[in-house]
Every structure is written in structure tokens, then in C-alpha cells.
Amino acid sequence: MSNSGMNAFASSDFQRSFFQELESRFLKRGEMVNELSQILNVGKDAIYRRLRGDTTLSADELMVLARKYDIRLDADQAGPRPMDFPAALYKITSEVEYFRDLEQQIAGITRLKGVTMDYATPELPVFYELLAPTLLAFKAYVYGLTSWNFAKWKGVEFRPQLIDPEVFEIAQRILPAICSLPGRELWSVSILDVTLRQIEHAVDVGRLVDPKLIERMFVEIEMIIIHMEAMTESGKRFLPGMAPTDDSPDFNVYHNEMTNTNNVVIVKSNDHSFVIATLVNPDYIISTDEHVQRKMEIWFENLIENSDALIADSGRYKERYFSQLRRSAAGAKRRIDGSLFEKPGVLS
């Protein structure tokens, strides 16, 4: 298609809608302008002229931006895609790309009116890993070696310095946004098991050998458990080190040991609703298809109906649940300490 043909398609209304969709991917307009200026290799003034509609986007510019940010160009089919692959459309070449995308997704959710977020997971939700910088670095390292297949870390022992510092900056920005969302979470008593197995395996194969680093990770795991317990006790979501208030968003947690092998997030709002599910963890898909949403909502509600609430009034039940989490972490730590003791020079 020639540029003139595409420019006719890129009418002022379409271009305005295109930029509205694009702007929703950024926290601030200035950030979008800076990034587009680099992508299109034009000055910021040129970007602002396009935003105002004084200059029409070319066919090449539209295609570049549409591919980069996964924006539809079929004007006859308004609205979001029934199924979207925000992290899987392109090959992730650095860990920071994933977390930038995650930040944009969370920012979009927090802008919705009357939003709630339900989360069912058989493992530790990524949001809690954001609380712990060493653990967050380790998980990014693991995903880099597995899901993202980074050549830069193959044969390299783990250390937090491997991770792009921007990842930790993004984590600090995401946390307040997450803690502003009311919702429910569904946990199992094995919620820590995947993370603990990953740490043990890294020790066994020699990718994690620094005892002080391992100790720090288990201190962070205990910190996460403490905060999870505090939120279930208060029935509110809040940041570590802060006290919940009456205005803090409601947070209800349920314990269920029935079959749950999916990481599923259900987002509902006055504007629109959608569901998120992991696809080659930690990458994920987003669906706005009503049938998919309904299926996941029914599945979630069925699990909730057959679950026990972890609340202040649950007393010993809640205490036993968190005691089991601590026993699991302590057991993994003992096995790791024993493994390190058997390796010559490691603990010397």
C-alpha cells in the first residue's frame, strides 16, 4: 500500500483514537513523547505536531508504532482484541522490557473506574516478589535463563548486579499502584514451593553459591510472609511499613487446596473488564472475550465457594496456614545449608 493510501486511512479521527490508545500505555505524556521521538527518529516538536493532528502519521510510522505497542489498525473493528499477547508479540531481549510492559499494564488497570482485581495462583504472585529486591532479581534471572533464553546469563552465577537497575525502579513504582486495588486472592499452602525449588536447584547446580546472598533471600521470604499475614489480618491491602486505614482498599484472601494450576487475574471495572492468564510464565495473555471472561469468573467463584477465608476471625486456621509457609521455607533452608556444607570451601 502506498503512503498516500495509508494517509487517507489515517484520518484525523483515526489518528486521534490511535494516539489515545497509545497514550494509555504510558504513565505520563512526556514519557510517550520522549520514547516516540527515539523510535521514529524525529524531534519532540514533530511528535507534538502529530499528536495535535497538524501532521499526519505516515504508513511506515503507523506500522512501526502499531507493531511496537500492539495497536490495531483495522478501524472497522473498534475496541480491544478478544485475545492479546502484550509480552509475547516480540522477543524479549532484556529483563527491563518485561517490567516496562508490566508497569504499563498495571497503570492502565489503575486508571479504570470502580476497578477490582481477583487473583488465583498456585505460586507466589509476582507482586509480592516486587517487595524483595534480591528475590526479584533472582526470579528475573531464572526467567532470563528459561522463558526468555538470554545468552548473557548462560553459565553465569546469579548475583543481583546482573539485573538492569531500572527493574528495581519500576518495582518501586508498581507497588503503590498494586496496593491501591481492591480485590480477592486465592492461595494454596504450597504458594512458596516453586520459588523455594528454584532456589534449591540454583544452589545444587552451582548457579547460587554465596551463603550471604542465600541468607538474604530467605530473610526477604520471611518479610513477604509477615506482610501477607498482616494484610489478611486487616482485610486491607497496603504497603509494607505502612498501617492500613479505613480508606485502604479491601483485600480478602481464601485458602484452597483443590486443583488450581493456573495463574489467573480477573479485572472488573465500570469501564470494561478483561482477564489475564500466564502463557509460558511469566509472559501472559489478555482476553476481553466475554465467553472467556465468564468461564474464568465462574471457575474463580467456584473455588472461592469451596475455600476458607484467611481473615482475622479465622484464628488458629490462619495461624496454621502461615506456620506451614514458614515450615516450608525453613525446610528448604536446612536442605540448602546441608548442601553448602558438603561443598568444599563454600562455608569456609
DSSP 258-304: SS----EEEEE-SS--EEEEESSTT-EEEE--HHHHHHHHHHHHHHH
Residue-wise pLDDT tens digits, 3-43:
433 343 345 667 887 887 788 777 778 888 999 999 999 99
Q: How far apart are CA 35 and CA 47, in angstroms?
A: 10
Q: Calculate mean pLDDT across residues 147-165.
A: 95
Comparing CA positions, the residue from 69, 55, 213, 75 lying closest to residue 137 is 213
Q: Taking 70 as the threshold, does the pLDDT of residue 284 lie above it?
A: yes
Q: How many domains does the chain fold into?
A: 2
Q: Which pLDDT score, from 0 to 100, does residue 343 have?
A: 63
The last residue of a domain, from among 40, 73, 106: 73
Q: Cell 466475554 identifies what position?
A: 290
Q: Are residues 35 and 145 in the same domain?
A: no
Tell me which of 163 and 286 has the higher pLDDT: 163
Q: Which pLDDT score, from 0 to 100, does residue 181 have?
A: 96
Chain mean position to CA 181: 14
Q: Are residues 253 and 294 in the same domain?
A: yes
Kindly indicate the confidence band of residue 289, based on its pLDDT and cuts at 50, 70 and 90: confident
State the cell numbers at 130.
Answer: 516486587
Let me know if residue 209 belongs to a domain.
yes
Let me know if residue 348 belongs to a domain.
no
Q: Kind of pairing, strands 116-120 and 183-187?
A: parallel
Q: How far apart are CA 215 and CA 223, in angstroms?
A: 12
Q: Which pLDDT score, from 0 to 100, does residue 6 have?
A: 38
**What distances in angstroms separate CA 14 from CA 6, 17, 80, 196, one per listed residue?**
11, 5, 15, 50
Q: Which pLDDT score, from 0 to 100, does residue 2 have?
A: 36
Q: How far apart are CA 98 and CA 100, in angstroms?
A: 5
Let me know if residue 78 belongs to a domain.
no
Mean confidence (pLDDT) of the chain: 86
Task: Please give the DSSP secondary-structure letter assigned to residue 183.
Answer: E
Q: How far apart are CA 222 and CA 228, in angstroms?
A: 10
Q: Are residues 69 and 107 in the same domain?
A: no
Q: Are residues 145 and 197 in the same domain?
A: yes
Q: Are residues 63 and 156 in the same domain?
A: no
Let me know if residue 346 belongs to a domain.
no
Which domain does 112 fall in, by range?
Answer: 95-341
Helix axes 211-234, 193-204, angle to 10 degrees: 180
Let me know if residue 138 belongs to a domain.
yes
Angle at 1 between CA 57 and CA 43, to 5 degrees: 20
Q: Are residues 263 and 155 in the same domain?
A: yes
Read off the pTM.
0.74
State the virtual CA torsion across 244, 262, 299, 99 in degrees, nearest 10.
50
Q: Kind of pairing, strands 83-84 and 284-287?
A: antiparallel
Chain mean position to CA 288: 18
State the cell numbers at 254.
Answer: 481464601
State the cell numbers at 192.
Answer: 512458596
Let me know if residue 84 belongs to a domain.
no
